[in-house]
A and B are shown apart, each in its own frame.
Chain A
Amino acid sequence: MTKSPVLILGARSDIGKATAHAFAALGHPVQLAARNADTLKADQSDMVLRHNVAVSLHEFDVLDLATHAAFVDGLPEMPDVAICVVGLMGEQSQNEQDLDAAVRVMRSNYEGPAHILAEFANRFEVRGSGTLVGVSSVAGERGRATNYVYGSAKAGFSAFLSGLRNRLAGKGVHVVTVLPGFVETKMTEGMDLPAPLTTTPDHVAQALVDAVERKVNIIYIKRTWRYIMMIIRAIPESIFKTRKI
């Protein structure tokens, strides 16, 4: 039996690649979408050789909203699962002073990902099937001085996903929100991450695949993050604002 195709938006990211491998290993054809997609040729042949599935490359810029509808319609086959891994952390200190940079972070983590998933949501709704996955972040659970520009955009994206899930629940379309804590990737390279709270792209990918298969709504990656964020959300604002967290 041929399995249904899976689309990865932001396929060059470490988490995106690991996710593509995880689905391909189960026999799903994968569509890799990214900026400068032709630089993913080596990954394409790698996935074909390792997993014996069809792999296609698609040019995609999450900020170029005007192209999104054509991008979706241009896919060789409508995917069953569309996963948005795109994200941009930026430098908080830069984001504070350079508001254009801040807006770019906001658009890359919220406006763009929400816009492309909305395109898929409408088509999946008509079709009456499909799964949408958004990779957001625990940073969106509460704004903190150290990364609130990124965090606020992720908060918006998480809220968007939860609304989408609510809207499509009766329509055969499932929505998964992925909330990683710390992951060893290009984004966090060189940062001093606490080992017990840090995970690998492969773990994120396995959890994501599992959530899609079992139709889980929201997953924290590393379960401790769920409790950490519960505590962080519970701290009264009057105390929270004076602390470095």
Chain B
Amino acid sequence: MILSGWGRYPVLDAAVHAPRSFAELREDVRAAQSVIARGNGRAYGDSAINTAATIKTQHLNRMLAFDPDIGQLIAEPGVLLGDIIAAFLSRGWFLAVAPGTKFVSLGGAIAADVHGKNHHKDGSFRTCVDWVDVMDAQGAVTRCSALENPVLFDHTLGGMGLTGVITRAAIRLRPVESAWMVQTTQPAANLEAAMDLFEANPDASYSVAWIDCLATGSTKGRSLVTLGEHARLTDLPEDRARAAFDVPDNRTWAVPFDAPGFALNKVTARAFNALYYRRGSRKSGQQITNWDSFFFPLDAILHWNRIYGRKGFAQFQCVLPLAASYAGLSALLSAISKAEVGAFLAVLKRFGPQTSAFSFPMEGYTLALDFPVNARTLRLLSELDRITLDHGGRFYLAKDARMSADVFAASDKRIEAFRAERQGNGWQNSFASAQSRRLNL
């Protein structure tokens, strides 16, 4: 079966299994020489593809138990985060950590140890995970948590499926009073102003910036910084507060076919960016918005990855340590605007402290942006790699499709230990993806 990630690059032909029961899953894992689990395919590159055996969790998607006293949900790995919201928001519960799309599976969220707009305050997904069941190559399942089998736990969170197949997990949801968000958007004239806004608002529950990476000179890094809070009943007009979980259905529409490759060139991207900035500046100030538009604005356009045309696109996401963030971001933005490749979406986010064996976040700033795939952008991406390395940063595997093993090895001191752990526990031969092979993990 032909498989690719969300970026539709690279495209590989893989043997795919989609077990419908735990027993079938065990057979699939035991039968193959090496496997990788695949959730909803939202990682951008080749993290969830093993040409010999890719095991999809789409049918293992049952919610098993919920304890309303502590907000704990036990579920199978194929459950989508969006399903959890659909089932529990009306009862007053939301995800503790939400990535930028709700079409992510629970297994994928754990394996990538995803982060949300609240990382600076609440940390990554692991902070809401009570325990995880992981299946090894023999089909045996081990439960792990921060206290029980902590090594397996620490390496599974952020381990990108390379420690085994997650078969079940218990996570904590967060209580909320409504389905609405109080959102404040402030324009920042340049990178420094944007970072100042992040630093001035450490207590905001959520913060994120859209950054115009084509602006240059004194406007380099101009941004729209959005802060958000879950709306309390007292924040809402009376009629809304009476039905605080009723939000009108978000209208979604699909990008129906592959847009021609020229639809997104340098000119259209620049126009888009300028417009977005101006419109955002005018609308700045406080707004009440529904959870879906606040957390998942891109989900309103299903299959938006097709606007990049058939060749697909690559995402770049790095994090830079706090002290080097300004210099590093500045250098990255210069390289991007100079290359004139038409980056479409760029997001800037402040991360809080994090300790973990192999998860992506570290305290500092993360920058994420998309590029259509072509020779020129691939060259630019290599340059961005180098700038990131020069500033002590590292890369998000869930977004990577093309990094070289050398760059990766230079980016992260933890790699040796992770590799050793994979060898020592017999994971290395049994759990592998096209990405882990490319990066020599």
Q: Which residues of A contact B (CB under 8 A)?
A: 39, 42-43, 45-46, 49-51, 186, 189
Q: How far is the CB of B94 from chain A (nearest CB, A)?
A: 16
22 CB < 8 A contacts A-B = A39-B21, A42-B62, A42-B64, A43-B62, A45-B62, A45-B63, A45-B64, A45-B65, A46-B61, A46-B62, A46-B63, A46-B64, A49-B63, A49-B64, A49-B65, A49-B66, A49-B87, A50-B63, A50-B83, A50-B86, A51-B87, A186-B20
Counted as pairs of residues, one from A and one from B, with CB atoms less than 8 Å apart, the total is 25
Q: Mark B12-40, 1 if CB is under 8 A from A, else 0.
A: 00000010110000000000000000000
At the interface, yes or no: B76 with Cβ under 8 Å from chain A? yes
**Known contacts A43-B62, A50-B83; can you find 10 more A-B pairs with CB under 8 A?**
A39-B21, A45-B63, A46-B63, A46-B64, A49-B65, A49-B87, A50-B86, A50-B87, A51-B87, A189-B18
Q: Which residues of B sit under 8 angstroms from A49, Cβ to Cβ?
A: 63-66, 87
Q: How far is the CB of A55 from chain B (nearest CB, A)?
A: 12
Interface class of chain A by DSSP:
helix
Q: Mark B53-93, 1 if CB is under 8 A from A, else 0.
A: 00000000111111000000000100000010011000000
Q: Which of B18, B20, B62, B76 has the most CB of A within 10 A?
A: B62
Q: Which residues of A sit under 8 angstroms from B76, Cβ to Cβ?
A: 42
Cα-based distance from A23 to B139 in the complex (angstroms): 35
Q: How far is the CB of A43 from chain B (nearest CB, A)?
A: 6
Cα-based distance from A189 to B24 in the complex (angstroms): 14
Q: Which of A45, A49, A51 has the most CB of B within 10 A?
A: A49
Q: How far is the CB of B135 from chain A (nearest CB, A)?
A: 16
Q: How far is the CB of A238 from chain B (nearest CB, A)?
A: 41
Q: Which residues of A sit under 8 angstroms from B18, Cβ to Cβ?
A: 189
Q: How far is the CB of B376 from chain A (nearest CB, A)?
A: 34
Q: How far is the CB of B424 from chain A (nearest CB, A)?
A: 33
Q: Which residues of A sit under 8 angstroms from B61, Cβ to Cβ?
A: 46
Q: Which residues of B sit under 8 angstroms from A51, Cβ to Cβ?
A: 87
List the A residue with the shortest CB-CB distance to B76: A42
Cα-based distance from A77 to B90 in the complex (angstroms): 29
Cα-based distance from A45 to B67 in the complex (angstroms): 13
Cα-based distance from A17 to B86 in the complex (angstroms): 18
Q: Which residues of A sit under 8 angstroms from B21, Cβ to Cβ?
A: 39
Q: Which residues of A sit under 8 angstroms from B63, Cβ to Cβ?
A: 45-46, 49-50
